């Protein structure tokens, strides 16, 4: 069976399951932030939990502590004040209906422990422990929105981000099936740093329950976003390979007053010329180097020399590819606008639109041309 066919069948099964279960279903999130994980301290914060490990079952209430360490291909599970168990896996399951929260502290990241809703499965992986948060999809999405969209904003902004996060989840929910979970908690998938403590975000996710973004054929679409577009969003083909119909460039009048709307950078003329020469520039004519970008362009031009702006952005770790170049004395001055790749929804602009009374659908329609917001049960997966 081809990969696309397997993916299609998986998505159909997923969509049917969602319909049957009314979306309030659990998803499995790989907590890869805990890489090189050899020990994990779990603490019950609220609710009542059942711990299953090594054929034993223990009840845990708030304050209950569990230390898990990897011992070869097995786990050592120490339950504070009770006993130590040798196990192949650990399952921490909350009681039905309870508002259950546990925290995780690991052997790598210092600082306060992460807080997570619902359940946890820990297994010994090949090199380190594998921790999977089994969590209600809406709680997961609220955590993503809080991690990806910040805490500041009004309801319609967070509703737009919730629809984007949900669309992304359904498009990629089989991405890590071979690893034993749906999706990971890093930028590879969507950043998820645990539960959302922001009421307005939790409400935005519940109000938009089941809603996703599709094209006119009801197919789920890639809906990227970035911090600030600098006044004009970018077409997808200037950043990635394909030009997508819904990712056109729009003039954005809303994001100009944000702190990340402008940036500048000074680079020595010598370093700039070295860089350009390394990529085939041969003229050394200073008057060639100046460059304007009143509206977004794909290439930097210096005389006959033509070079992708997106590559310059990556190589120099610039905030955006939307910048002008000025030569002054022995330096190059980059005068830039925006923060991020610039494709799709501009978060600063969307936040201002929501503050000014625009609704979630209007915000999404402004940044993504011709898309529909529909229920996941009416949407289809892309067969490609």
Verify binding: residue 87, Zn ion, rule CB under 5 A.
no
Q: Site map for Zn ion, 116-155, x if CB under 5 A?
A: ----------------------------------------
Please say which residue, 119 or 252, places its beta carbon nearer to Zn ion: 252
Q: How far is the CB of 31 from Zn ion (least distance, A)?
A: 11
Asked if 108 and 127 count as a contact pair (C-beta separation under 8 A), the reply is: no
Q: Is 352 in the site for Zn ion (CB under 5 A)?
A: no
Nearer CB in complex with Zn ion: 234/252 = 252
Binding mask 198-237 for Zn ion (x = CB under 5 A): -------------------------------x--------
Radius of gyration of the chain (CA): 24
- Whichever of 118 and 252 has its CB closer to Zn ion, that residue is 252
The only residue of 6, 25, 152, 188 in contact with Zn ion, by rule CB under 5 A: 188
Strand order across the 331-337 sheet: 262-268, 331-337, 323-328
If one asks whether residue 27 binds Zn ion (CB under 5 A), the answer comes out as no
Q: Is 350 in the site for Zn ion (CB under 5 A)?
A: no
By CB under 5 A, tell whether 56 contacts Zn ion.
no
In angstroms, what is the minimal distance from the CB of 171 to Zn ion?
12
Q: Which is nearer to Zn ion, 47 or 340 (CB)?
A: 340
Task: Give the 3-state secondary structure of residue 45.
Answer: strand
Q: How far apart are CA 61 and CA 159, in angstroms?
A: 34
Interatomic CA distance for residues 167 and 161, integer angstroms: 10
Task: Please state, as a whole number, how many other Cβ atoms lie within 10 Å of the Cβ of residue 339.
Answer: 25
Q: What is the DSSP letter of 243?
A: P
User: In whole angstroms, how close is the CB of 225 to Zn ion at the nearest point?
Assistant: 10
Q: Which residues pair with 28 in a beta bridge?
A: 134
Q: How many CA atoms lie less than 13 Å away from 239 in the CB half-sphere?
A: 22
329 backbone φψ class: left, alpha, beta (φ>0; ψ -120 to 50): left
Give the range of 58-66, 185-193, 217-225, 277-285 binding Zn ion by CB under 5 A.
185-193
Q: Restricting to residues 242-281, name those near Zn ion by CB under 5 A.
A: 252, 255
Question: Within a 13 Å sphere around the CA of 277, how many CA atoms are in the beta-carbon half?
Answer: 10
Binding status of residue 25 toward Zn ion by CB under 5 A: no
């Amino acid at each position: 069976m081809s990969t696309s066919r397997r993916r299609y069948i998986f998505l159909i099964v997923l969509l049917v399951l969602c319909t049957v279960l009314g979306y309030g279903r659990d998803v499995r999130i790989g907590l890869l932030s805990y890489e090189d994980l050899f020990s994990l301290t779990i603490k019950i914060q609220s609710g009542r939990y059942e711990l299953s490990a090594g054929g034993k079952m223990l009840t845990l209430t708030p304050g209950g502590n569990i230390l898990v360490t990897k011992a070869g291909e097995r786990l050592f599970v120490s339950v504070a004040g009770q006993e130590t168990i040798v196990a192949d896996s650990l399952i921490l399951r909350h009681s039905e209906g309870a508002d259950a929260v546990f925290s995780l502290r690991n052997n790598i990241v210092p600082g306060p422990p992460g807080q997570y809703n619902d359940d946890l499965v820990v297994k010994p992986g090949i090199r380190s422990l594998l921790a999977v948060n089994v969590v209600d999809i809406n709680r997961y999405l609220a955590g993503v929105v809080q991690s990806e969209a910040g805490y500041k904003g009004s309801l319609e902004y967070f509703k737009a981000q919730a629809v984007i996060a949900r669309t992304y989840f359904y498009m990629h929910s089989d991405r890590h099936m071979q690893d034993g979970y749906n999706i990971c908690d890093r930028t590879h998938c969507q950043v998820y740093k645990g539960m959302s403590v922001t009421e307005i975000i939790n409400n935005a996710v519940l109000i938009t329950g089941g809603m996703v973004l599709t094209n006119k054929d009801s197919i789920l679409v890639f809906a990227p976003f970035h911090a600030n577009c600098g006044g004009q969003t970018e077409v997808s083909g200037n950043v990635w390979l394909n030009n997508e119909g819904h990712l056109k460039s729009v003039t954005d009048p809303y994001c100009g007053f944000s702190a990340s709307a402008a940036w500048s950078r000074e680079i020595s003329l010598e370093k700039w010329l070295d860089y350009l020469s390394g990529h085939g520039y041969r003229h050394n004519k200073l008057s060639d180097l100046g460059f304007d970008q009143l509206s977004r362009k794909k290439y930097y031009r210096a005389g006959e020399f033509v070079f992708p702006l997106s590559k310059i952005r990556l190589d120099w770790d610039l905030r955006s590819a939307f910048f002008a170049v000025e030569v002054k004395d022995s330096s190059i001055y980059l005068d830039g606008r925006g923060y991020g790749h610039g494709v799709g929804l501009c978060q600063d602009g969307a936040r201002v639109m929501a503050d000014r009374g625009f609704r979630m659908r209007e915000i999404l329609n402004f940044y993504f041309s011709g898309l529909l917001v529909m229920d996941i049960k009416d949407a289809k997966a892309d067969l490609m």
